Amino acid sequence: MKSVLKGVQLPNGKTTDVTIEGTTIAAIESTSEAGLDCSGLIALPGFVDVHTHLREPGFEASETVLSGSRSAAAGGYTAVLAMANTDPVTDKAEVAELVARLGAESGYCEVQPIGSVTKGLRGAELSDLEGLAKSSAKVRMFSDDGMCVFDESLMREALIRVKAFDGVIAQHSQDPQLTVGAQMNEGPLATELGLKGWPAIAEEAIIKRDAQLALETNSRLHICHLTTAGAVEVVRWAKAKGAKITAEVTPHHLLLTEELVRSYDPVYKVNPPLRRQEDALALQAAVLDGTIDVIGTDHAPHSAEKKQCEWQNAAFGMVGLEHAASVLQQVLIENGGQTWERFAALMSTKPAEIARLTGQGELRVGAVANLALIDPNARRTIQFQTHSRSQNNPFARTVLPGAVVHTIYRGRFTVVNQEVQELNG
């Protein structure tokens, strides 16, 4: 099958045609052949999310691999890394292989499972890291996300063991002893609202400890969802020291702040919590100066039963796949004056590199045809109704720039004119 994308703009600003043959980008040059009119659209390598919760197996009322994959395609993603906090936990090869198989059967994007660092996410004994790496799922990223690997000796051992197969530990940085019962960011607003505070030091202390372990072991460490100005400074310090450390930020921590908690609307309840305005500004600056490497959505769907209740009883988490690109366009392009090449690095190239995914994060002749085409001039009101099974979307009713018009996964259109396609195997 052959497709020609006519008149697309590349990340470097050049306007040309892109020819796809089968699953491969066959040419990037003007051609006399007819094709799909893509005038005004920017072609980017398909997005890669290193931090997605697909909930299956175990929590299918909130999300399935299929519904999450459709949501990902709608957001321009051609690969997602699925977190391990499922039921059963992805701490064995057979669970990882199940998730990968469900993703392949869905066909909307590559679904790469993340293995848990510890068995059952209990933080007491390491998972079979080598077995997960050797499985057909070829797991390279490990995380207990939702929980912190708090035991320092276990964390050190995990960092040492993943070096053998070029793996990476993705840490949810949260000192559990400092956050017992915490409900929102610690500070005057938490006191005013009568909610238990979540101190910044709970995040920053763990990042500093782990950065030192990464330096000592010379192993790869990825920091999930930074939220504080202090955490940015710790990452900056660790990179200057030569640590193999990368960091992500979520769309919601870039633009939303703790002030929204005044509403007591549980849609704003998230782990780690929304922080102060000065923290959000520090995160935006870190995206612009390169301290933060990638945008990770922490797409965390929850059913209405878990979210539409009193604040204290509501689950932590927000969905994020379908609007992440628009948030980054606002921060990076419209407010920051940065380039689409930098955008592609944050959303695609660098995440693929961290996860060691092949066939992702590239836009060149001979590469796998994984592409996202964006209309940068569009402005849209984000909708509650999504392709996800859950609607805990904090950006609903918000106007954001940009829209994913087409998504192409392995040469196949999964989204056409903003409509997710029905795939037949």
The two tokens of residue 194 are: 């009568």
Residue 47 pLDDT exceeds 80 = yes
* Tokens matching residue 103: 């993703």
386 pLDDT band (50/70/90 cuts)?
confident
pTM tops 0.95: yes
CATH number of 47-362: 3.20.20.140
At CA 335, angle to CA 267 and CA 237, rounded to 5?
80
Averaged pLDDT, 157-174: 98
End-to-end CA distance of the chain: 16
1: confidence class by pLDDT, cuts 50, 70, 90 = confident
Contact, 391 vs 384, CB < 8 A?
Answer: yes
Average pLDDT over residues 181-199: 98
**Average pLDDT for 48-72:** 98
CA distance linking residue 174 with residue 211, whole number of Å: 14
pLDDT digit string (tens) for 147-157? 999 999 999 99
The DSSP code for 114 is P
Residue 361 has pLDDT above 80, yes or no: yes
pLDDT tens-digit readout, 281-327: 999 999 999 999 999 999 999 999 999 999 999 999 999 999 999 99
- Residues of the binding site: 51, 53-55, 85, 145, 172, 225, 271, 298, 302, 316-317
* pLDDT at 262 exceeding the cut of 60: yes
CB atoms within 10 A of CB 242: 10
Residue 298 falls in the annotated catalytic set:
yes
pLDDT for residue 359 = 97
Which parts are annotated binding residues for Zn(2+)? 51, 53, 145, 172, 225, 298
Residue 425 has pLDDT above 90, yes or no: no
Assess whether pLDDT exceeds 90 at residue 384: no
pLDDT at residue 272 above 70? yes
The band of 383, judged by pLDDT with boundaries at 50, 70 and 90, is confident
Q: How far apart are CA 248 and CA 367, in angstroms?
A: 26
Element containing residue 159 per DSSP (H, E): helix 152-162
Task: Supply the mean pLDDT for the chain.
Answer: 97
Active-site position among 49, 144, 279, 298: 298
